[in-house]
Every structure is written in C-alpha cells, then in structure tokens.
Amino acid sequence: MQKKRVVIVGMGFGGVRAARALAGSGCDLLLIDRNNFHLFQPLLYQVASAGLEQESIAQPIRAMARQWPGARFTLTEVRAVDLAKRELQTDTGCIPYDYLILGAGSATNFFGLGTVQQHAFDLKELEDAEVLRNHILQAFERAVCEPDPARRRALMTFVIVGGGPTGVEFAGALIELVNFVLAKDYPELATHTARVVLVEAMDRLLAAMPEQLGMYTLKKLRSMSVEVLLNAQVVDADGERVVLHDGAVIPAHTLVWSAGVKAAPLAETLAVPHARGGRIPVEPDLSLAGYPEVFVTGDMAWLEQEGAVLPMTAPVAMQMGIYAARAIIAREQGNQLPPFQYRDKGSMATIGKNAAVASAFGMQLRGYPAWLAWLMLHVYYLIGFRNRIVVLLNWIWYYWFHERQVRLITRRKQHEA
C-alpha cells in the first residue's frame, strides 16, 4: 500500500510541532519552507538590539529533519494551492499531496499606510533584525560626524510603533543598549539626549494582559527613560521624521513598526472566504471547509472559541500544529479526534534587566520573578542545544557586565525602504 503524502508548508512553530508529531507515523512527510531554517521569532528583537547573534535563534531544518523518520525537506516558496487537484504550485514545480498542513505564518500589517511601509523597519525575518541592527549602529556612527545638533539628535531618536510584547521588549532592549553600551562606545556623543519613543494607539500597553501588568510596564519603561505615547497613532513618515495623527512631528531617522500582523500572502491565493487580516476561517478540527484533507494552522487560521478569536501567537500555532498532525494520524486509523481546544497557558513580556511581566494560570508576576520565568521559558523552547548554550551565555555576560558583543555593522549600505 502506497504511503500517504503529508505536506507541511511553513516550518514555524506550528510546522515544527506537526512534523515532530507525524514523524515515524508511516506517512511520506514533506516539509516545505522558503528558508532553510526554523526561526525563533520571539528573540528577533535581541538580534536587532545587538544582544544575540542571528545564528543563535535559528536552526537548520535539514538538521531537524534528520531526527524525524520519513521526513524530507524542500527549499522552495509556495505560490498557490490548487485545492481541486490537491497540488501545490511552487518555484521548483508542482507538488501533489494527500494531506496538507498550511502554516505559512504572518506578515506585517501596515494598514494601508504607504509611506510608513516604505520607511519603517519591521521584525518578521532574520534578515530584518540584522538590517535594523546595522541601521541603529550606523545612525550613531553618522551622529558622531554630524555637526548639526538637531540632525544629530534625530539620528539618535528611535520611534517604535505598537505597545504589544514586541514593541515593549524592543523599546526596553534598545534603551538599555543606548544607556549601558553605546554611551561607553561613543564618549564624544551626548547619548543622554538619545530618545526611544514607544507609540501605542490604545490607552494602555500590553492590552492582552491584565491592566495592572500594563500599568507596571508603563511605569517601568518611563523610569528607564523610554517616552511612551498612549492614544497616539503614526500616520506618515519620510525617513527623517515621523508624523502622528494629531499633527505632531517627531524628528527621527528610525521607525520600527510592530503594530499589527496579517496572514501570510499565501492565504490570499486560496479561493476560499477570508476573515479580518486575511486569515482563513477553519472548521473546529482546523480543516478547510469543503476540503477535509487541508488543515490551516497558526497565524493563517481564524477560529473562534468562547466568543473570541484565537490570537496570532506562537502557543496557538504550536498547539494547532500538534492537533493537525494527530488528526491526520487518527483519520488514517479510522478514528476521529474531538474538536480542537486551545489551552491558554498565559503570556509574558520582558521589559529590561530584572524586569518582566507574566500572566499564567490565574497568577500575575512582575519584576525579577517574571523575568526569571521569561528567561527559562525562552531558553527551553529554543531548538538546538548549542543555541540554548549560546543564548544563555550571552545573557549571563550581559547581566554581569552590561556588554553586548554583537555590535557589528555587517553591511555598509544604508537601509532604503
């Protein structure tokens, strides 16, 4: 009897968990991604803020696939899915499937702000973090040679849009980089005039967490000299200034966008109904309506539970990936799983050294205990023993010496979006 081919598109958090669960199940498992590595996205901001090497948060997919019986990997990009023919159209040709797990993730959502999209940096890909790190360090190099005080301060002004975990974590990491590291690297600059501005459209930070933790985060960031603007929206940018909704102008050469995501472009190619943000509504078992052999997981999937849409987060993707794999195995054995049920294990965000917030199992942590929990959890979920050791050593080094070793400008060319 011929083995059923299961194709997994996207080796993010959901794809990796699905592959692990399907390994050794007797199916022909094909893994597809446009990159040859799995990326630990939650730590991208640390690469951008010179805290970690980019290699330490990525793991080659082929190295992982060697440990999964029956798994093969193909480096290509999926352009479209022919649901009727059960076939993928890729850069390297057509690939048939018996079962398909779509977990291509998400893309940055600029909400139609063309000039912002043109001039802003985002943090979705490994290369994005390296480009942003280069830009930040080059901004200080340019500031050293800039005779105009106003322009010099604009070079040292960094506007971050979005008060969710990514924006909060990057703002905290960036102000610590400026105050503890770059202040020593650039004694000729008055780095105390550098600005990190966090812009949030709502009236609080970390809206998905309890309000008390959002208030703690706000106070902590402001005590670190981060300027936090609530009820504010960025509407325009030109590379040298950022314009807010009320007409206020912030002279700044760096704009980082972390204010929203939407489903990956692959979702648009599917001839099925779409929900907000381009996400694809799925059945309770994560399958596509009318196509029970196709499962959609992670950020691409739109599923409501208990009156709310499941968030576009890594824990959701991981649980969905495992469920989709088990559903396929069960179906091949003539069984059926109960509907997917997401189990919320909580959320957390780090603010800076010894400071974080966490909400889990009805408990709220802040300060050092939350920071320690954040550190241990992120090391645990990193893939690869070497990566865990390298990241941990980097954090220990920074904790004791306030030094970030990855202050490398690896490209001389200026970022021009």
The amino acid occupying position 146 is E
Across residues 1-19, what is the average pLDDT?
Answer: 94
**What is the number of other CB atoms lying within 10 angstroms of the CB of residue 90?**
17
Identify the pLDDT of residue 402: 87
Across residues 331-354, what is the average pLDDT?
Answer: 95
Identify the pLDDT of residue 174: 98
Q: How do residues 111-153 score in pLDDT, each as one tens digit?
A: 999 999 999 999 999 999 999 999 999 999 999 999 999 999 9
Identify the CA nearest to 65 among candidates 56, 57, 74. 74
For the cut 50, the answer to whether the pLDDT of residue 326 exceeds it is yes
Alpha-carbon distances, residue 230 vs 115, 214, 222, 227, 361 (angstroms): 22, 12, 12, 10, 29
Q: Position of tokens 């360090």?
A: 137
Q: Show Cβ contacts of residue 370 under 8 Å, excluding neighbours closer than 6 positions.
A: 348, 350, 355, 356, 357, 358
Calculate what percentage of the chain has a pLDDT beyond 70: 98
* Termini Cα distance of the chain: 53
Respond yes or no: is residue 169 known to be catalytic.
Answer: yes
Identify the pLDDT of residue 221: 98
Q: How do residues 25-46 score in pLDDT, each as one tens digit?
A: 999 999 999 999 999 999 999 9
Across residues 390-408, what is the average pLDDT?
Answer: 92
For the cut 90, the answer to whether the pLDDT of residue 197 exceeds it is yes
Identify the pLDDT of residue 362: 85
**What's the pTM?**
0.95
**Do residues 18 and 109 lie in contact, with contact meaning Cβ atoms separated by under 8 Å?**
no
Across residues 207-235, what is the average pLDDT?
Answer: 97
Identify the pLDDT of residue 405: 83
CATH topology of domain 5-34+76-108+261-332: FAD/NAD(P)-binding domain (3.50.50)
For the cut 60, the answer to whether the pLDDT of residue 347 exceeds it is yes
Marked catalytic residue, from 53, 130, 169, 200:
169
Identify the pLDDT of residue 413: 59
Identify the pLDDT of residue 1: 63
Least confident segment among 45-59, 68-82, 208-222, 393-407:
393-407
In the chain, list all ranges with CATH 3.50.50.100.
114-259+346-401
In the chain, list all ranges with CATH 3.50.50.60.
5-34+76-108+261-332
Across residues 352-367, what is the average pLDDT?
Answer: 94
CATH topology of domain 114-259+346-401: FAD/NAD(P)-binding domain (3.50.50)
**Do residues 68 and 30 lie in contact, with contact meaning Cβ atoms separated by under 8 Å?**
no
